[in-house]
Chains A and B, each alone.
Chain A
């Protein structure tokens, strides 16, 4: 026996599916490396201001010790007024600082360096004071630093990918789980419940969304968190109305008409919904909506989320179909737990892993969609520097190859990383596919 085998044998065998998947996933070196890369990118996104900014991290100026980036944070996030008025317009790069620790790139992403505009390449001669102020990856048409744009663009790309897929996952998992678990036969409720419940839902949608549509639209304009709040309130109103209207069915059930159990075709309805969604060209829809609405990154996330749930729903549905006939589910039902409880607390956790695969691929495609939108100049306001917007700079000036190469490479790497993770997860979760 080889030494390595012995080690394997000594280690306690793990039977938890999560741990098994993780072990298999780790053995896929490419996917594991991709996971690390995504981690590193999250780091870049979080620390973007310490990697590229037009103020030093720490500086000593006229004997005063200053933390300019932190001071800016205080102004931006806490709403304090920390800078004296005369300091606001200062260009820190020209100040006679005693000493300073600068971010590696000394430009803010949206800052215009007019001396190096339009579009100066990384290898071309640049008008700079010290070598440290070099535009390492060149500048764009307006003299904005490409590397700084790349670093800060990571934030937008990752946020779009993660938030939009968060929305999509929520919709997809809930719908997929309902369709897969209940099928067309398992949800049998009394006729009174069905009619009153549906009626209540309609009323709820009216009060929750129709009457509140101005409030919702305004919240979307304000930002993501206000929108989530307003949306949550709408959902609450819907739920409240549904329950209120449904309540009398508890008595109506005793009547002959109301007591008759009927099967709700949950799977049929949700599957048709998925089919309809699949036959609409999503990208074209997103382009159209983004072209018509006011540019807003939140709106982009919301549309990508609202259109990207089908893959997740299908996988979750398929997995739930398998899980629902397992013994432990039968046991839970026999114990008298409510169907919804069994579906979401017992069955769903075992069906979730496959949705993860779709989510990983979904993040990749959401990032692609967002960058395509910015490339076309849609979705995000034109002053925001994003990877896609940087690439489109090369379209206007075909000599500026650096505008095409570097941001595109960044998009490619992120998309590949998420695709690799998705691939790795799929192989780890489904041994049958792996063997193929």
Chain B
């Protein structure tokens, strides 16, 4: 058994690694610049002056350094020869992406960089000239064009923006403008696309974003929410409690209901009971939980129909800490009964069908015949002999039930406004609060993985054959 468990744990680690990698990869795909998201609400809006611009840039760079976003992304990087390994140092993600894109088009980083440098000079020259009264109305437009220019990925659009800028500029900005224009025009002439097809590997060591993120993850630091700037770990700690309670109760209820149903259906195979249960459970399996949840809210929770249950939340408005524990429990269960039931019925169908199959298989085994032959009463044969042996495969089904429940809680918690992880994640989805979404995914996946490991351990304990039957 030890070898089996060791094998499972050995399998657990790479899977965990892959999951963190996946989360990190998804987080890298989130649109926008994380630092800017973090700093939103700070700039007063309106027209920035030179000093403000410099100040906000400095603030940006400081924040970026603090968050470790000026580090390379992974332990190593494989990039074409054309792409510099230092691209990650360029601040402002849209700019970084645009420059990368241009490099991928022309294969010539030095020239792209020259364009960017020329742009920076033009930009600072523009900001230095803000006080000039001869600008008039044109200033706003030039400012907008200058903001757009470095974020533009398509070459033709860059040319277009430059053409639009040309007549608007003040005479003494001309040289800077000409430099940018020249650099842009040089790009297609000095194209070195072959450099794109030679891969190079760079080693960055542990000073990278993924490593930082992973270490933070292990310490329970999930980053900071865009919405309220609170640490995500703190936000999740309150939420995970409810999700765990609901999922645990659902899991328990799923097994407690499904197992007897499956056994009874299997024992009375082909009977009216068997077929009836089979049909009902089959229908339940096809019922989308979000629909049943919505229907329950509309028809049972005080719409135009019945008002049997509260429409959402986990406790009544008059809930107070002075209540006795019994009263508290009663209040909570009154609020949670619908979501738990709706989160469970899918598993009933699945589990009881498997239970039925397992018990049927065992009822045909020799040892059951022996038990019957020695005159044991039928209930003892079923519950003491056949049932126990059919239970083992059911334990492993945790692997199929648990992930579904954890994902399902996003929907149920949203419908019933339960302040759990799923609800938090839904709120984050509508507010585009990417760090929270990713944290919830990571935690959900890790919880699933731990659940699976526990299932495996239970399985190993329940079935002594495992140590012999499997190749270590």
Binding site for B on A (CB under 8 A): 203, 206-207, 210-211, 214, 272, 275-276, 278-285, 287-289, 291-294, 364, 368, 371-372, 375-378, 388, 391-392, 394-395, 398-401, 404-405, 408, 411-412, 415-416, 419, 423, 436
Q: Does B29 contact A (CB under 8 A)?
A: yes
Taking A279-B15, A368-B288, A419-B285 as contacts, is the C-beta distance between A401 and B303 under 8 angstroms?
yes
Task: Check B282 against A284 for contact (C-beta < 8 Å).
Answer: no
Find the A residue at minimum CB distance from B305. A401
Identify the 4 closest CB pairs spanning chains A and B, nearest first. Answer: A283-B407, A408-B291, A281-B403, A398-B303
Chain A CB within 8 A of B26 CB:
yes
What is the CA–CA distance of A206 and B196 in the complex, to the nearest angstrom? 11
Residues of B within 8 A of A280 (CB): 19, 22, 403, 445, 448
In Å, the complex CA distance between A142 and B330 comes to 40
Smallest Cβ-Cβ distance to B28: which chain A residue: A292
Can you list 30 residue pairs at the A/B interface with Cβ under 8 Å?
A206-B78, A214-B104, A276-B18, A279-B19, A279-B448, A279-B452, A280-B403, A281-B407, A281-B444, A292-B26, A293-B29, A294-B31, A364-B286, A376-B414, A377-B429, A388-B290, A391-B290, A391-B294, A392-B294, A394-B294, A395-B294, A395-B297, A401-B303, A404-B291, A408-B288, A411-B288, A412-B287, A412-B288, A415-B286, A436-B360
Contact A211:B311 (CB < 8 A) given known A284-B444, A408-B294, A411-B291: no
Q: B residues within 8 A CB of A203?
A: 199
Stretch of B34-42, B337-345, B434-442 with 4 or more beta carbons under 8 angstroms from chain A? B434-442
Shortest C-beta distance, A71 to chain B (Å), equals: 35
Residue with the highest number of chain B CB atoms closer than 10 Å, among A211, A291, A394, A419:
A291
The interface residues of chain A lying within 8 Å CB-to-CB of B408 are 283
| A398 with B403, Cβ < 8 A, contacts A284-B410, A292-B434, A419-B286 known | no
- B399 interface residue, CB < 8 Å from A? yes
Known: A378-B429, A399-B303, A404-B294. A284 touches B407 (CB 8 A): yes
B449: chain A residues at CB < 8 Å are 279
Q: How far is the CB of A168 from chain B (nearest CB, A)?
A: 17
Number of A-B contacts (CB under 8 A): 145
Beyond the given A214-B101, A275-B11, please list 20 additional residue pairs across the A-B interface where CB-CB is below 8 A.
A206-B78, A210-B78, A210-B199, A279-B15, A279-B19, A279-B399, A280-B19, A281-B407, A282-B403, A284-B403, A284-B440, A287-B410, A289-B26, A292-B26, A292-B29, A376-B410, A376-B426, A395-B294, A395-B415, A436-B357
Q: Is the CB of B445 within 8 A of A206?
A: no
Given A287-B407, A371-B290, A376-B429; A405-B295 close (CB under 8 Å): yes
Q: CA–CA, A283 to B357, complex, Å? A: 27
B411→A372 contact, CB < 8 A: yes
> Which residues in A have their C-beta under 8 angstroms from that of B415?
395
A284 and B196 form a contact (CB under 8 A): no
Minimum C-beta distance from B257 to chain A (A): 21
- Chain B residues with CB below 8 A from A412, complex form: 286-288, 291
Kindly list chain A residues whose C-beta atoms are within 8 Å of the C-beta of B298. Answer: 394, 398, 400-401, 404
A residues within 8 A CB of B22? 280, 285
Is B299 an interface position by the 8 A CB rule?
yes
Closest CB-CB distance, A243 to chain B, in whole Å? Answer: 17
B380 CB within 8 Å of chain A: no
B61 within 8 A of A: no
User: How many residues belonging to B are interface residues under a CB distance threshold of 8 Å?
Assistant: 63
Question: Quick check: is B197 within 8 A (CB to CB) of the other chain?
Answer: yes
CA distance A364 to B288 in the complex (A): 11
Bound Cα distance from A272 to B7, whole angstroms: 12
Known: A292-B26, A375-B290, A404-B291. A398 touches B297 (CB 8 A): yes
Q: Could you tell me the distance in whole angstroms from the C-beta of A368 to the nearest C-beta in chain B?
A: 5
A275, A288, A392: which contacts B26 (Cβ < 8 A)?
Answer: A288
Tell whether B68 is near chain A: CB-to-CB under 8 Å.
no
Is B283 an interface residue when CB atoms closer than 8 A count as contact?
A: yes
**A275 CA / B414 CA spacing, docked (Å):** 30
Interface centre among B197, B298, B448, by most chain A C-beta atoms within 10 angstroms, is: B298
Complex CA gap A272/B14 in Å reads 11
Evaluate contact between A415 and B288: CB separation under 8 angstroms.
Answer: yes
- Cβ–Cβ contact B29 & A401, under 8 A: no
Q: Give Cα distance in the complex from A378 to B411, angstroms.
A: 12
Taking CB atoms, residues of chain A closer than 8 Å to B104 are 211, 214
Do the beta carbons of B283 and A416 come within 8 Å of each other? yes
The answer to whether B437 and A291 touch across the interface, beta carbons within 8 angstroms, is yes
Is A398 a contact partner of B406 (Cβ separation < 8 A)? no
Interface residue B430 (Cβ < 8 Å from any Cβ of A)? yes
CA distance A207 to B406 in the complex (A): 38
Contact of B430 among A377, A394, A419 (CB under 8 A): A377
Would you call B30 an interface residue if the criterion is a C-beta within 8 Å of the partner chain's C-beta atoms? yes
A392 to B196, CA, bound (A): 47
When the two chains form the complex, which single residue of B80, B295, B441 contacts A288, counting CB atoms closer than 8 Å? B441
- Which residues of chain B are near A287, meaning CB under 8 Å? 407, 410, 425, 429, 441
Is B295 within 8 A of A408, CB to CB?
Answer: yes
Closest B residue to A367 by CB, please name it.
Answer: B288
Closest CB-CB distance, B296 to chain A, in whole Å? Answer: 9
Instruction: State how many angstroms separate the Cβ of A245 from the closest Cβ of chain B.
Output: 13
Contacts of B311 in A (CB 8 A): 398
CB-nearest residue of chain A to B303: A398
CB distance from B4 to the nearest CB of A (A): 14
Could you say which of B197, B304, B428 contacts A399, with CB atoms under 8 Å apart?
B304
Asked whether B244 is an interface residue with its Cβ less than 8 Å from the other chain, the reply is no
Q: Which A-chain residue is minimally distant from B356 (CB atoms)?
A: A436
For A368, what are the chain B residues with a Cβ–Cβ distance below 8 Å? 288
Chain A residues in 8 Å Cβ range of B78: 206, 210
CA distance A275 to B19 in the complex (A): 13
Q: What A residues does B256 contact at CB under 8 A?
A: none
Smallest CB–CB gap between B364 and chain A, Å? 10
Which of B287, B290, B297, B429 makes the CB contact (< 8 A) with A291?
B429
Interface flags for B144-187 (1: CB within 8 Å of A; 0: not) read 00000000000000000000000000000000000000000000
